[in-house]
């Protein structure tokens, strides 16, 4: 059987990101992509004979199954992975999606639900670009629905979220396993769900090991490289500076690496570093990182929605993986 051509194959052949391919082939409105790039991607797709799956007009009335997706934004790296995962799963299952971007505005969310009602969707995915507690419009209760990358404030309904606490624990345990004993962390905005959960996993793991050195080893950032740099400088000025830093996203880790190199320290010999999210640049910079399983989350959410099972009040957590690279892979002589 001939192997099915995927978007990632087109991205490699056209030398562009998977995100760009998804935006172009899904004809996402408002995308900021050069026309020459768009034409190159379309040409490669034609040459590889890309087939996204059954089209609505190709399905008979019995087989047509239509679902709505509403998301607050698709302008950053993470939400496009959710959309890509949903579309890939829909293609594999012979389902059709209507995607509405609402910017998180209540009136636009209601308009999206009205559109879904007009098209007769079977169910709705209510998605967020970042993990959060959400208050969807009451009208969504008129649809069979699943919350993706968010959870209702009253915990009702079915939600699919990344296992952030598990991820924080996995990152910290990895640093313990390679021999680190003074492990610091740099969180993101403290009000965010991801920050709270990743920090909880970090603390729990160090507490169990009897190696939690307290709040002095916990810095707060705004998820940016600059704040990661400043936080690292403060940590390195401690009387007993850390021998490892868990940066709670890969952008923070870029700041960690810049500050570490500026201080004349070696990574990982003097300071081991692990990040989170496994962004595209993490592989290029050889950053050890915990992946965000957005594609798997999206698939789980759509399969739950499309199933015949009752959707009860529960939260499904999907765990990412620790990808070990050079920032924690110590030379053999030091292992």
75 — pLDDT class (breaks 50, 70, 90): low
Output the six-digit token pair for 330: 């110590």
Maximal CA-CA distance, the chain: 71
Average pLDDT over residues 30-48: 84
pLDDT digits (tens, 9 = 90+) for 218-244: 999 999 999 999 999 999 999 999 999
- The mean predicted confidence, pLDDT, of the chain is 89
Secondary structure class of 204 (helix, strand, coil): helix
Burial class (CB in 10 A: 0-12, 13-18, 19+), 128: buried
What is the arithmetic mean of pLDDT over 79-97?
89
One DSSP character per residue, 229-259 reads: HHHHHHHHTSSS--SEEEESSHHHHHHHHHH
Buried-state track 60-72, b at ≥16 Cβ within 10 A, e below 16: eeeebebbbbbbb
* 53 upstream amide cis, omega within 30 of 0: no
Region 180-208: mean pLDDT is: 96
d(CA 93, CA 108): 29
Mean pLDDT of 268-279: 96
Asked whether residue 185 carries a pLDDT value surpassing 90, the answer given is: yes
Under 8 Å CB-to-CB from 302, ≥6 apart: which residues? 67, 86, 89, 90, 93, 95, 125, 146
pLDDT for 52 equals 63
Partners of 148 in beta bridges: 127, 160
User: Helix or strand or coil: residue 294?
Assistant: helix
- Report for 33-42, 44-53, 104-113, 202-211: range of highest mean pLDDT: 202-211
Give the per-residue pLDDT at 53: 55
Q: Is a pLDDT exceeding 60 seen at residue 58?
A: no
Give CA–CA dist 124/211, Å, rounded: 45
Question: Looking at residues 317-322, what average pLDDT do you find?
Answer: 96
Average pLDDT over residues 52-70: 63
pLDDT at 73: 86
Q: What is the pTM of this model?
A: 0.78
Query: Greater confidence, 82 or 160?
Result: 160
Of 3-12, 73-82, 267-276, which one has max mean pLDDT? Answer: 267-276
Q: With beta carbons less than 8 A apart as the criterion, state whether 77 and 108 touch.
A: no
Please state the rounded mean pLDDT for residues 8-30. Answer: 79
User: What is the average per-residue pLDDT within 45-66?
Assistant: 63
CB 295 within 8 A of CB 90: no
Residue 38 has pLDDT above 90, yes or no: no
**Rounded average pLDDT over 33-38:** 85
Q: Which residues pair with 231 in a beta bridge?
A: none
Residues sharing a CB contact under 8 Å with residue 201, sequence separation 6 or more, in sequence order: 164, 165, 166, 167, 168, 169, 170, 171, 172
pLDDT in tens, 118-170: 999 999 999 998 888 899 999 999 999 999 999 998 888 999 999 999 999 99
Order of strands across the sheet that contains 66-71: 96-101, 66-71, 123-134, 144-152, 158-162, 314-318
Instruction: For the chain, list the domains and their CATH numbers.
Output: 1-52 (1.10.260.40), 55-163+293-318 (3.40.50.2300), 164-292+322-334 (3.40.50.2300)
Least confident range from 72-81, 116-125, 204-213: namely: 72-81
Q: Span 247-259, mean pLDDT?
A: 98
Percent of the chain at pLDDT exceeding 90: 66
Asked whether the predicted pLDDT for residue 99 surpasses 80, the reply is yes
Q: The tokens 């209507």 sit on which residue?
A: 98
């Amino acid at each position: 059987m001939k192997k099915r051509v995927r978007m990632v194959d087109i991205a490699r052949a056209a030398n562009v990101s998977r995100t760009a391919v998804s935006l172009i082939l899904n004809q996402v409105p408002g995308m900021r992509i050069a026309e020459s790039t768009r034409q190159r991607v379309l040409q490669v797709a034609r040459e590889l004979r890309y087939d996204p799956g059954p089209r609505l007009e190709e399905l008979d009335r019995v087989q047509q199954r239509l679902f709505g997706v509403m998301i607050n934004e698709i302008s950053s790296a993470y939400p496009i992975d959710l959309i890509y995962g949903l579309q890939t799963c829909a293609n594999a299952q012979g389902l059709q999606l209507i995607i509405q971007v609402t910017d998180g505005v209540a009136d636009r969310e209601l308009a999206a639900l009205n559109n879904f009602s007009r098209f007769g969707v079977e169910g709705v995915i209510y998605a967020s670009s970042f993990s959060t507690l959400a208050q969807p419009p009451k009208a969504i209760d008129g649809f069979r629905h699943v919350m993706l990358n968010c959870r209702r404030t009253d915990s009702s309904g079915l939600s699919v979220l990344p296992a952030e606490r598990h991820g924080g624990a996995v990152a910290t345990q990895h640093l313990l396993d390679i021999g680190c004993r003074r492990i610091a962390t740099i969180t993101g905005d403290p009000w965010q769900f991801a920050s709270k959960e990743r920090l909880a996993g970090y603390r729990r793991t160090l507490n169990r090991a009897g190696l939690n050195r307290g709040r002095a080893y916990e810095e707060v950032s705004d998820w940016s490289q600059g704040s990661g740099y400043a936080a690292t400088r403060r940590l390195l000025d401690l009387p007993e500076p850390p021998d490892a830093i868990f940066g709670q996203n890969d952008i923070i880790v870029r700041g960690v690496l810049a500050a570490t190199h500026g201080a004349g320290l070696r990574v990982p010999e003097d300071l081991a570093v692990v990040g989170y999210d496994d962004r595209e640049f993490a592989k290029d910079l050889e950053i050890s990182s915990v992946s965000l399983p957005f594609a798997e989350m999206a698939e789980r959410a759509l399969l739950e929605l499309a199933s015949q099972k009752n959707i009860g009040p529960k939260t499904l957590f999907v765990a990412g993986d620790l990808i070990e690279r050079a920032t924690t892979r110590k030379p053999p002589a030091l292992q």
